[in-house]
A and B are shown apart, each in its own frame.
Chain A
Amino acid sequence: MKQSAGIMLALLLFGAVGSGWAQEKQDVTVAAALSLKGAFEELALLYEVKHPGERVQFNFAASGVLQRQIEAGAPIDVFASASSREMDELDRQQLLEVASARTFARNRIVLVVPAEGRAALRSMRELRQAAVQRIAIGNPATVPAGRYAEEVLRHANVWDSVRGKLILCENVRQVLDYTARGEVDAGVVFATDAAGVNGIAVAAAAPAASHSPASYQAAMLRGAEHRAAGRAFIDLLLSAEGQAVLKRRGFLAAP
């Protein structure tokens, strides 16, 4: 008796999970750079108001990590990357629908320090100081913000002297967390990530010329299941309303 009740319960659970999956199939799935999280969640609400009954599912991670997931066949409709490199590599493997690709925003790179900072920093060059023992950046191999950070540090001619101090993080959030906790003395992140985070102060902004343009691109995947919805989401990014949301979140307009 007890056993059959257990089996019933298991079947019910499977049923619930199963119908949950079935429902998700109606939704457009967007894999997006983690730095887009706040803005995209707001845009999703906008999308769902405009398209009643439809929902947007997100998968946020470092762009490089998402690229690997897409290469491995993740069921994703739209990919929004924080740099063109991931897009180019996916394009080379013919996984993208090139005609749908759009650049929809840009970002800036800033130097952040713990709000209760030990080292008073005003520029990238000052990272060479002995008082600065640890600097968090995204892992340049997978995190676009980390790649830009490397460019910025090279441009400031400090890369070789700060290399031993670098803590390579899996994504921008980890950089912010280590910085806010004071585990590191400084971090390099996107301006939009640093805005409004408790325990973080922006010490300096990197000159636009010191790194390749941090432009965000979105494209539909070849294997996309929800083409109309995917296209509608990309259109929303470029619409006046979408751009207004991105601007309010600190992103710059695409060139």
Chain B
Amino acid sequence: MEPATFFSLRLSLQVATAATVLVLIAGVPAAYVLARRDFRGRDAADVLITLPLVLPPTVTGYLLIVLFGRNGLIGGPLYHWAGWTVMFTWQAAVIASFVVALPLMVKTARAAIEAVDRNLIDASATLGHSEPWTALRVILPLAKRGIVAGAVLAFARALGEFGATLMLAGNIPGRTDTMPLAIYSAATSGDRGRANMLVLLFAGLSALLLYTANRLGRRAV
């Protein structure tokens, strides 16, 4: 395999893995709160998290630049303080992937948590267990199938993320060109041979990952 292809492949896996870990860390608690708590602004929070699922990736990318750019709302102070900006780095690709993959996890996990039998939760409470104990030992284990499915979907979405990544991370050969970006470059510059090779490789890898995830998910649950 050419070094450039290997780099893109490795970067894609690295970005998708990092994004999925973040999605798990943020998404499962968010799904839990949305499913189990009734608070003001719950619908608004749900809409905000889900929005990147329906917005065109270019809009998401634009909003992320406004937030994380060197003069952005968050990126500005960060650059001022640390002299570093996330723009055009592989971490920017992680941010973009995280934002677009999060709703898939939250939607799936929330549905799974809401489907947990109320009687079991009440029984746990009646036996004197605190809410955190109930959440960790009763609710989340019972919702495991949904959480695993959410993680698989999130990983797949992160792996294929293109639009917002292109805007926030740029398309820098050897630095931020994930597989989708490398495929786009090859296709738009007329390099059919390379495009074909990358497409086959990427499609094969994605299929293999999904197949493995499905099998693991079935065995684990």
The answer to whether A binds B is: yes
Binding site for B on A (CB under 8 A): 64-65, 67-68, 71, 134, 139, 141-142, 166-170, 181-183
The residue on A at minimum CB distance from B170 is A167
- Chain A residues closer than 8 Å to B189, beta-carbon distance: 64, 139, 141-142
Minimum CB distance partner of B177 in chain A: A168
Q: Which residue of A lies closest to B167 (CB)?
A: A174
A139-B171, A139-B189 known; 4 new pairs, CB 8 Å cut-off, are A64-B190, A68-B188, A134-B88, A169-B170
Majority DSSP secondary structure for residues of B touching A: loop
Kindly supply a per-residue 1/0 record for chain B positions 181-218, scoring 1 wherever the CB is within 8 Å of any chain A CB and 0 otherwise.
Answer: 00001011110000000000000000000000000000
Q: How far is the CA of A183 from the CA of B87 in the complex (A)?
A: 7
Q: Do residues B70 and A168 form an inter-chain contact, with CB atoms below 8 A?
A: no
Task: Give the residues in chain A near B87, CB-CB below 8 Å.
Answer: 183
Residues from chain B with a CB closer than 8 A to the CB of A168 are 170-173
Cβ of B166 within 8 Å of any chain A Cβ, yes or no, is yes
What distance in Å separates the Cβ of A69 from its nearest Cβ neighbour in chain B? 10
B71 at the interface (CB under 8 A from A): yes
Q: Are B65 and A183 in contact (CB under 8 A)?
A: yes
How many angstroms from the CA of A160 to the CA of B71 in the assembled complex? 28
Taking a contact as CB atoms under 8 Å apart, the answer to whether B69 and A181 are in contact is yes
Q: Report which B residues bind A (CB closer than 8 A).
A: 65, 69-71, 85, 87-88, 166, 170-173, 185, 187-190
Given contacts A68-B188, A68-B190, A142-B188, whether A182 and B170 have CB atoms under 8 Å apart is no
User: Contacting B69 at CB < 8 Å: which of A141, A166, A169, A183?
Assistant: A183
Give chain B residues whose Cβ lies under 8 Å from the Cβ of A170.
166, 171, 188
Contacts of B190 in A (CB 8 A): 64, 67-68, 71
Q: Show 16 A/B contacts (Cβ-Cβ < 8 Å), sorted by A.
A: A64-B188, A64-B189, A68-B190, A71-B190, A134-B88, A139-B185, A141-B185, A141-B189, A166-B172, A167-B88, A167-B170, A168-B170, A170-B166, A181-B71, A183-B65, A183-B87
Q: Provide the bound-state CA to CA distance between A166 and B85, in Å.
A: 15
Q: Within the assembled complex, what's the spacing in Å between the Cα atoms of A67 and B85?
A: 35
| Alpha-carbon separation in the docked complex, A64 to B190 (Å) | 9
A67–B190 alpha-carbon span in the complex (Å): 9
Q: Which residues of B have CB within 8 Å of A71?
A: 190
Question: Could you tell me the distance in whole angstroms from the C-beta of A67 to the nearest C-beta in chain B?
Answer: 8
Shortest Cβ distance from residue A103 to the other chain B in the assembled complex, whole angstroms: 23
Closest to B175 in A: A164
B188 and A182 form a contact (CB under 8 A): no
Residue numbers in B under 8 Å from A141 (CB-CB): 185, 188-189
B183: min CB distance to chain A, Å: 13
Nearest CB in chain A to that of B85: its residue: A183
A169 / chain B contacts, CB cutoff of 8 Å: 170
Give the CA-CA distance A167 to B190 in the complex, in Å: 20
Nearest B residue (CB) for A164: B175
Please give me the residue from chain B that is nearest to A180 by CB atom.
Answer: B71
Contacts of B88 in A (CB 8 A): 134, 167, 183
**In the bound complex, what is the Cα–Cα distance between A170 and B173 (angstroms)?**
13
| A148 and B187 alpha carbons, distance in the complex (Å) | 21
Given A182-B70, A183-B69, is A167 in contact with B188 using a C-beta cutoff of 8 Å? no
| B195: min CB distance to chain A, Å | 11
Complexed CA–CA distance, A65 and B184 (Å): 11
Chain B: which residue is nearest A185 at the CB level?
B70
| Residue with the greatest number of chain A CB neighbours at <10 A, chosen from B85, B173, B188 | B188
User: What residues of A have a CB within 8 angstroms of the CB of B188 in the complex?
Assistant: 64-65, 68, 141-142, 170
Residue in chain B with minimal CB distance to A134: B88
Among B87, B170, B172, B189: residue with most chain A CB under 10 A? B170
Chain A residue contacts of B70, Cβ below 8 A: 181-183
Give A183 to B170 CA distance when docked, in angstroms.
Answer: 11
**What residue in chain A is nearest B79 (Cβ atoms)?**
A182
- What's the least CB distance linking B63 to chain A, in Å? 13
The answer to whether A181 and B65 touch across the interface, beta carbons within 8 angstroms, is yes
Complex CA–CA separation, A68 to B185 (angstroms): 12
Closest residue of chain A to B83, judged by CB? A133
Residues of chain A contacted by B71 (CB below 8 angstroms):
181-183
CA distance A190 to B88 in the complex (A): 23
B103 smallest CB distance to A (angstroms): 26
Once bound together, how far apart are the Cα atoms of A167 and B185, in whole Å? 14
